[in-house]
């Protein structure tokens, strides 16, 4: 699992990648997110649950495949792996988005087979 996450952190501009349980517990975090891992996991789980509920149930638009947030400190990405866990990625503001999305999709597929 850790080696799979390291594939993401080897992309130029990617600072951190992690697997988080939907109940807010970190499974594995690689790299530097710049925040406490437990706080990161709890906050990201809350954001993901609200987004999935809002888009999926309230708006009837389906579950978001990949969420991207632009902040002053960089970009954040979240995508579900399975019903129990999701992937979170932090990058610098300037990152090859195409490569990051392709690799995130590949890693999501690989992780869904082992989680």
User: What pLDDT is attached to residue 76?
Assistant: 96
* 3 has a pLDDT exceeding 90: no
User: What pLDDT is attached to residue 2?
Assistant: 85
- How high is the mean pLDDT of the chain? 92
User: What pLDDT is attached to residue 55?
Assistant: 84
Give the SS3 label for residue 50. helix
> What pTM value is reported for the model?
0.91
What DSSP element (H or E) covers 78? Answer: strand 74-82
Domain count, the chain: 1
41: domain CATH number is 3.30.450.30
Domain that holds residue 48: 2-114
Q: What per-residue string of b and e applies to 33-71 under the rule 16 or more CB within 10 Å gives b? A: beeeeeebbbebbeebeeebeeeeeeeeeeebeebeeee
Query: What is the percentage of the chain residues whose pLDDT exceeds 90?
Result: 70
User: What pLDDT is attached to residue 86?
Assistant: 94
User: What pLDDT is attached to residue 35?
Assistant: 94
**Tens-digit pLDDT profile for residues 48-103:** 998 988 888 888 887 788 899 999 989 999 999 999 999 999 999 999 999 999 99
């Amino acid at each position: 699992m850790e080696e799979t996450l390291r594939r993401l952190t080897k992309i130029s501009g990617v600072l951190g990648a992690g697997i988080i349980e939907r109940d807010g517990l970190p499974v594995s975090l690689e790299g530097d997110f710049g925040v406490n891992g437990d706080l990161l996991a709890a906050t990201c789980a809350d954001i993901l649950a609200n987004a999935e509920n809002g888009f999926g149930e309230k708006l009837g638009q389906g579950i978001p495949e990949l969420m991207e947030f632009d902040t002053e400190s960089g970009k954040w990405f979240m995508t579900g792996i399975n019903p129990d866990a999701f992937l979170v990625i932090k990058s610098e503001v300037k990152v090859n988005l195409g490569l990051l999305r392709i690799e995130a999709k590949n890693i999501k597929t690989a992780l869904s087979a082992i989680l």
